[in-house]
Chains A and B, each alone.
Chain A
């Protein structure tokens, strides 16, 4: 059992050890859907939702099932995540078809988002309890959203400026991400 306070877990997951900018998790959506602020925000919110569900599921598996069969950890986590995403997809489709259309392909792709599996594994490795796990998930989700929205707003303004031909595309995005990551390093001494 880990005895970190909830606040320090939350703050650490959100800015100090930001999932995207400090631990490189969830880079696919970070590169893929950060062209528009609106899409980025929606993706971030969907991420928070799935992260919290994953954290609950991981806590349940860890407390009641995986003690007996620790070598099945990776396999059971990924199955649970895949089914969770599938269930969320069906529920959203039934309850709010509009939201379902807006999220589009990003919802099923969340299965292979390393941030989700990463959360489950970090939570296990650090021995977080029930509340700690949920706080960790919300913090990590907000951190992802923050990084996505920041990146999207920078990209929106870069689009209008005159960049050299050679830098158009992923190279420039990565260098912007590097600069953002440097900015986030400033939080390192906080906790």
Chain B
């Protein structure tokens, strides 16, 4: 039955099946909170916590959850950990909590988390589910920090609040506004499509040359 090794479970989510950039899951937070690197990091940390805890719990209890109500059960588990994350963020990082606002609560309906429970944790043991969750969480963090980095760098000329381009830089205000979120992700996807196409053309060329 098992077709992947534990290390594959771990690595898969980071790049080849990156939740945001390849599977297009969890787009709401990926676009809404990435106007600065700090927000992107806070969001990723909260999501990371939620996905790891719920994956462990769901896979530990998978034999007790009747399959007719499994989706509701997963959502309840996720909602519980989101409430915890919300309270912890409010206690330890009040500035970020205020900035992210309702989007912390909206982690509940992040399809990426529910998708991992349904597709992986419900069928695998605790250890492998945890690996899978950590991998997916890191993949999500990479995507968010990448977007946050681009947007903050171009939109305000700084990175994590530290000025990079000096005082003479004219900020591209559009990048920190909602439209910039769509455009940044759109251009990242276009660039990825371009590299993918070039790689394919190269392998085809190599195949032709060898035949």
Interface residues of A (CB under 8 A from B): 21-28, 31, 71-75, 78-79, 82, 111-114, 116-118, 121-122, 125, 165-167, 169-175, 177-179, 181-182, 185
Contacts and interface: CB of A to CB of B under 8 A. Distances in A.
B146 interface: no
A175 B187 contact: yes
B28 A25 contact: yes
B186 A74 contact: no
Nearest to A181: B179
Interface stretch (B9-17, B39-47, B74-82, B150-158): B74-82
Binding site secondary structure of chain A: helix
A97 B21 CA distance: 38
Contacts of B72: 79, 82
B111 A75 contact: no
B27 A27 contact: yes
Contact of B79 (A78, A118, A166, A172): A78
Given A74-B79, A171-B190, A185-B177, A178 B28 contact: no
Interface band, chain B: 35 or more
Interface string B85-122: 01100000000000001100110111100100000000
B87 A122 contact: no
A74 B82 contact: yes
The 4 closest A-B pairs by CB, nearest first: A178-B182, A174-B186, A171-B189, A175-B186
B49 to A, nearest CB: 15
Contacts of A171: 186-187, 189-190, 193
B27 A28 contact: yes
B31 interface: yes
A122 B102 contact: yes
Binding site secondary structure of chain B: helix
B106 A114 contact: yes
10 contacts: A73-B105, A78-B79, A79-B76, A117-B109, A121-B106, A166-B190, A171-B189, A172-B186, A181-B179, A185-B179
Interface string B57-85: 00000000000000010011001101100
A167 B75 contact: no
Interface string B5-43: 000000000000000000010011001100000000000
B111 A28 contact: yes
Contact of B75 (A82, A173, A181): A82
B183 A178 contact: yes
Contact of A74 (B24, B83, B182): B83
A82 B109 CA distance: 11
Contacts of B194: 166
B178 A23 contact: yes
Nearest to A126: B102
Nearest to A125: B102
B154 to A, nearest CB: 14
A121 B79 contact: no
